[in-house]
Amino acid sequence: MRQRKHIAAVIALVSLIFIVIPAIWAPRAQAEPFTTVPPENHPELNDPVLLKPFMEMETFPLPEQDTCQHCHLPGEITGIWTPLFRWILFGTMGLLFVYGTYRAGSVWINRKPWKPLWARAVDWIDERYDVVEPALKILKKPVPLFATRWMYCLGGITFMLFVIQCITGVMLAFYYKPTPEEAYASILFIENEVRFGAAIRAIHHWSANGMVVMVVAHMLRVFITGAFKSPRELNWVNGTLLGLFTLGFGLTGYLLPWDQRAYWATTVATEIAGGIPQIGDIALVFMRGGWNVTAITLSRFYAVHVLVLPVAMIILLGLHFLMIRRQGISRPL
Amino acid sequence: MTEGETEQEEKTIPFYPDHVTNEAKLALAILVVVVVVGVLALWFPVGLGEPADPMNTPLHTKPEWYFLFLYQILKYLPKTLGVILPILGLLILILWPFFDRRKDTKRARSARVILAIVGVAAIIILTLLSELS
């Protein structure tokens, strides 16, 4: 793009799309009528849970003071469909359109041999970071046919379920409240009020069970094919620890809904830990944060479930993959 | 079609694109299953039991299903032994490669298959017993 008229054309087009047209056509936020009754089309201001901060005020905030209208248009207060998001979405599409238009210009096509856009992006990165060569080395690694059998997929399936758990877990953590007073209600809120909350929770619940099944199946496969033998002993130890962490996730996560089943199942489980000779009492008090299952137990289990175990799991998973990559997949008999 | 041969006369396929495609298809299948589970949940959500009541122990309190076999073992063995034995079993499992160092044979593999089947069957039976009692 060396000629000035090209640059001028792009600037004119971009300013037309993003400045002139929005200045003329973009909708303006309308001032809401100033009443003490929440407006009908303002769902958040009619929700008793979310209404709490407004209870202290004598009148509802003026439109310019209404925090919601910082991002939303009045009457359109649902989810991420805000002016900013629309700007980003349509702006990105607009930019892509502009770029595509520009690239389609014959002057550009005649300058160099045509290369797909993604190939140009890869070249740009490769010039700076030299990643293509090691990446190709990884990508070209031959995979022996025995490793494409179904039972060699079990570990990968477990890992994928773990990733799904991380994603759904974060989404649940956005709404879950880890105190005995609010935990139960927050889960009800997720299931009933949050959009697709019931779906996310069910995915998290069933993927947890699925992950336990898959991790055991994967371990059995490794055991049966003798892939634990030298020089892979350390990887086996690593793998059993990963399996234990999976059970740990299950144990700590089960308490979080704070319903009868969760509370008493945790009581039973920690009692069993208390039965270990010599260290049983210490183990029980450490797990429960006291002699009984209380709010401290819930906080402790939540911290382990959301901070300790994920970090430990990711570190051990990294080592697991590194070791496999370095030593290669073990050959069966 | 793009199979290559190594010096050991072994058939291999290139990681990219062949195996990556295999794995991508599998990942997509799992994603579909997961999404179906999610969609079904909109009509049949997981739900909750009664809110926790520390003063009130329900009659049939049990751990989660993957711990039921341990719970059942505890019913048969005295408290200390019932805790020590599974821990011992776990230690043997973790350190198995250091016990079994011989070169692998078909016979050893069959033995491991049988051991695995017996172990899994025992765990399943214990779990079912625990669930139904």
Q: Is A66 in a helix, a strand, or coil? A: coil
Are B82 and B120 found together in one domain?
yes
pLDDT of A28 reads 61
DSSP states of A188-200: HHHHHTSTTHHHH
Tell me if B11 is assigned to some domain.
yes
* Cβ <8 Å between B67 and A264: no
pLDDT tens-place string over residues A24-83 = 876 665 554 445 566 666 666 667 776 666 666 656 566 666 677 778 776 666 678 888
Residue B7's pLDDT is what? Answer: 47
- Higher per-residue pLDDT: A282 or B15: A282
d(CA B74, CA B99): 27
Measure in Å the smallest separation between the Cα of A198 and chain B Cα atoms.
6
Segment (H or E) for B48: none
- CA distance to A144, A155, A255, B30, B37, per residue, from A159 (Å): 21, 6, 23, 11, 18
Task: Label residues A226-262 b or e (16+ Cβ within 10 Å = b).
Answer: bbbbeebbebbbbbbbbbebbbbbbbbbbbbbbbbbb
Give residue-wise pLDDT tens across range B108-126.
999 999 999 999 999 999 9
A191-205, A293-307, B12-26: segment of lowest average pLDDT: B12-26
Cis omega before residue A83 (within 30°)?
no
State the ipTM, two decimals: 0.90
Does the residue B46 lie in any domain?
no
Residues B69, B119, single domain; the answer is: yes
pLDDT, tens digit, 9 for 90 and up, residues B32-44: 999 999 999 999 9
Q: Is A157 exposed, middle or buried (0-12, 13-18, 19+ CB in 10 A)?
A: buried
Q: Which is more confidently placed, A59 or A218?
A: A218
Is the CB of B46 less than 8 angstroms away from the CB of A276? no
- Considering the domain architecture, whether residues B70 and B127 belong to the same structural domain is answered as yes
List B residues 16-75 in contact with A (Cβ-Cβ < 8 A): 16, 18-20, 22-23, 26-27, 30, 34, 37-42, 45-54, 56-58, 61-67, 70-71, 74
Greater model confidence, B69 or A111? B69
| CA A40, chain centre distance (Å) | 34
Q: Which residues, 6+ apart, have CB-to-CB distance to B23 below 8 Å?
A: A153, A156
**CA-to-CA distance for B81 and B84, rounded, in angstroms?**
5
Select from B48, B26, B30 the least CA-distant residue to A203: B30
Which among A205, A197, A207, A206 is positioned nearest to A175, based on CA atoms?
A197
Write down how long chain A is: 333
- From residue A246, how far is each of A36, A142, A185, A239, A240 by CA, in Å? 52, 31, 26, 11, 10
Residue contact A184–B52, C-beta within 8 A: yes
Cβ-proximal residues to A295 (8 Å cutoff; 6+ apart), any chain: A179, A180
> For residue B70, is it within any domain?
yes
Domain containing residue B14: 4-41
**Residue carrying structure tokens 């207060």:** A77
Q: What is the mean pLDDT of chain A?
A: 87
- Average pLDDT of the residues in B71-80: 88
Taking only the tens place, the pLDDT of each residue in A142-194 is: 888 888 899 999 999 999 999 999 999 999 999 999 999 999 999 999 999 99
Contact A264 B58 (CB under 8 A): yes
Number of domains in chain B: 2
* Cβ atoms of A203 and A162 closer than 8 Å: no
Chain B residues touching A153 at Cβ < 8 A: 23, 26
Using CB atoms, pick whichever of A156, A188, A259 lies closest to residue B50.
A259
Determine which of A97-101, A156-160, B96-100 has the lowest per-residue pLDDT on average. Answer: A97-101
d(CA A166, CA A314): 11
What is the rounded average pLDDT of the residues A128-152?
A: 89
| Secondary structure element (H or E) that encloses residue B4, with its range | strand B4-5
- Asked if A259 and B48 come within 8 Å (Cβ–Cβ), the reply is yes
**Per the domain annotation, does B48 fall within a domain?**
no
Q: What is the pLDDT of residues A310-321, one digit of tens each?
A: 999 999 999 999
Of B30, B50, B67, the CB nearest to A160: B30
Q: In angstroms, rounded to a whole number, what is the distance separating the alpha carbons of residues B75 and B82?
A: 8
Residue A1 has pLDDT above 60, yes or no: no
pLDDT score, position A55:
62
CATH 1.20.810.10 domain residues, chain A: 145-327
- The residue ranking higher by pLDDT, B3 or A330, is A330
Domain range A145-327, CATH class: mainly alpha
The verdict on B83 and B125 lying in the same domain is yes
